[in-house]
Amino acid sequence: MPTTNQVLADWVKEVAAHTEADQVYWCDGSEAENQKFNQMLLDDGTFKQLNQETHPDCYLHLSDTEDVARVEHLTFICTEQEADAGPNNHWMAPADAKAKMDDLFKGCMKGRTLYVIPYCMGPIDSPISRCGVEITDSAYVVQNMRLMTRMGKGALARIEREGGFVKGLHSTGELDPNRRFIMHFPEELSIMSYGSGYGGNALLGKKCHALRIASYQARQEGWLAEHMLILGIKNPQGEQSYVAAAFPSACGKTNLAMLIPPEGYVKDGWEISTIGDDICWMRPGEDGRLWAINPEAGFFGVAPGTSEGTNPNALAMLYKNTIFTNVAETEDGQPWWEGLDDRTPKTDWKGNPFDGSGPAAHPNSRFTVSASRCPSYSEQAEAAQGVPIDAIVFGGRRASLVPLVTEARDWAHGVLMGATVASETTAAATGEVGIVRRDPMAMKPFCGYHFGDYWGHWLSFSDKATQLPKVFTVNWFRKDEQGNFMWPGFGDNMRVLEWIIARCKNKVSSSESAIGGLPEVKDLNLNDLSMDEDILNDLLAVDRKGWHAEMDSVSEYLKSFGDRVPSSLFEQVETVKDKL
């Protein structure tokens, strides 16, 4: 028997029989296995080898054209009680979901190999880490999970020591969009995904386990599983701080995680290090602080827009040992996407000759690469105890109203700020400009249970930890009357991070306002930044009339989640209104 864990052995045997798999292969995570799988994928046409001089050990995968993104409308939370899933999720009764999935999985691996992937989310020896096993019939999934998790013998050994693990069952099926479902059973710590080979639908360690299942598990066990980056900031005096930050999509999350500070900061000795760009698990430590790990071992990043100008650290990773999915290809076999440079690709993401019409790379095309390839990668990403979080930052894309940076008065106020963070739609997205869409803690598609209970869990940490991080909101996206961005963003966001860290260490004061603490202009480092002080004052101003309307909108939003919303959040709303 390949494992001493009887539950795991029985489950694999049962699935193999039900799916009628031709053979069963247990992944060990070795380099020899990695090379064997790459060659196998090249041989069957799943992978295409890219230019080995410019991109050694890099491969291109073109997916089915109907299978290129997460499918939120086909993603379900299957709790016994519908109310526990909450209005923030699609719900299906567990018995109905299992019957539907059992029918889809029956015989689906006939003629295929069933791969068993034991994996650990987080460092193998970390008490914050949790293990899982994904069963899949996709060797492409195996190779991505190899980069994204700690996969193989070490994870299996931990599972055998501890006993418990998250069960994830996946098959690409027929890749039929009408026979595609992703089911989560948080009360049983299990996942079933059928009919997709795409990242978030198929790499079950990622959003399915690390957020939807883990958020539920974290509530039961007293920790937090969040859609957050983690970055380290070391000042010229050698003092190290860590920030966890949550942003909805298209708000520069990966760019911030790998930020390169302005030249003056670099000369002065400031250093930025990257722990993670997407997911953060936090729990209270013995010292009363929140300690965090990045449960992932790799980056599954969006390629379009990644360039020397926007994120040089990300680009530098992608010249070796990388899997590219749905990008274009140049004449000499290099990967290409919109925003990379001014070359014209030879073929598009469908493998057809590129004729200049439409995007050459799919807008959601991806790269999968080990986190250790990042130039700003920190060895602390492997620290078993994690890193202590000094500040939690929430951000959205707001063209008006929301200041550049605001500090919460206390933890409960910070939870309100996170629960009601929002972005405004653009004309390109919906045809309507400025519609406010709220995305609590950037967890709208990823929270595995009722948002009201989730916010209550966040609030409970005021009793679980004695030195909670300070909480802030940021908004890099304010525009002037001409529609121009008022803040330069990118590396200059370091100036805001410096103020945030200074506040955490009580080195500067803040100006109290109705909506929270704001910086004094004199306390922001504006060296080498040619910005009119009037613009900065506008970025830090509080529009009282606009904020009255905002708080009315916030109140209505909270009410939409019913009687499970903690009353203290409504009290926080009233406090802001009174101060306004």
Q: Which of 494, 473, 485 is nearest to 248 (CA)?
A: 473
Q: Which regions of the chain carry the CATH code 3.40.449.10? A: 6-46+73-221
In the predicted structure, residue 184 carries a pLDDT above the cut 80:
yes
> Nearest 5 degrees, angle CA 306-CA 311-CA 312?
105
- In the prediction, which pLDDT does 381 show? 98
Query: Taking Cα atoms as reference points, which of 105, 253, 121 lies closest to residue 174?
Result: 105
Q: Give dist(CA 125, CA 144) in Å, integer.
A: 22
For 280-312, the pLDDT digits (tens) are 999 999 999 999 999 999 999 999 999 999 999
Give the tens place of pLDDT for each residue, 521-544.
999 999 999 999 899 999 999 999
**CATH 3.90.228.20 residue window(s) in the chain:** 226-297+382-543
Instruction: Please check the confidence at residue 91 and state whether its pLDDT lies above 90.
Output: yes
Residue 428 reports pLDDT greater than 50: no
pLDDT, position 70: 87
Indicate the fold that domain 6-46+73-221 takes in CATH. Phosphoenolpyruvate Carboxykinase; domain 1 (3.40.449)
Asked whether the beta carbons of 559 and 566 are under 8 A apart, the reply is no
List pLDDT tens digits, range 231-281: 999 999 999 999 999 998 778 899 999 999 999 999 999 999 999 999 999
pTM over 0.85: yes
The CA-atom distances, in angstroms, between 295 and each of 127, 165, 444 are: 12, 15, 20
Report the chain's mean pLDDT, rounded to a whole number. Answer: 96
Class (C level, CATH) for 298-373? mainly beta
Backbone angles phi, psi at 551, to 5 degrees: -70, -30
Cα-trace Rg, the chain: 24
Please say whether the beta carbons of 311 and 302 come within 8 A: no
Query: What does 19-48 look like in DSSP terms, one character per residue?
Result: HT-SEEEE----HHHHHHHHHHHHHTTS-E
Burial 411-427 (b: 16+ CB within 10 A, else e): bbbbbbbbbbbbbbeee
For 368-394, the pLDDT digits (tens) are 999 999 999 999 999 999 999 999 999
Q: Are 300 and 359 in contact (CB under 8 A)?
A: no
- SS in 3 state form for 204-259? CHHHHHHHHHHHHHHHHHCCEEECCEEEEEECCCCCEEEEEEECCCCCCHHHHHCC
User: Once rounded to an integer, what is the mean pLDDT over residues 208-226?
Assistant: 98
CA distance 131 to 461: 24
Location of each CATH 2.170.8.10 domain in the chain: 298-373
Choosing from 251, 280, 374, 447, the catalytic residue is: 251
Task: For residue 455, give the nearest of 417, 409, 398 by alpha carbon.
Answer: 417
Indicate the CATH number for domain 226-297+382-543: 3.90.228.20
Cα–Cα separations (whole angstroms), residue 127 to 5, 17, 20, 246, 439: 20, 35, 37, 23, 30
For residue 526, give both structure tokens. 């504006």
**Residue range 34-45: average pLDDT?**
98
Q: How many residues does the chain have?
A: 580
* 251 a catalytic residue: yes
pLDDT at 1 over 80: no
69 pLDDT tier (thresholds 50, 70, 90)? confident
Using the Cα atoms of residue 100, residue 101, residue 104 and residue 105 in order, give the sign of their dihedral.
negative
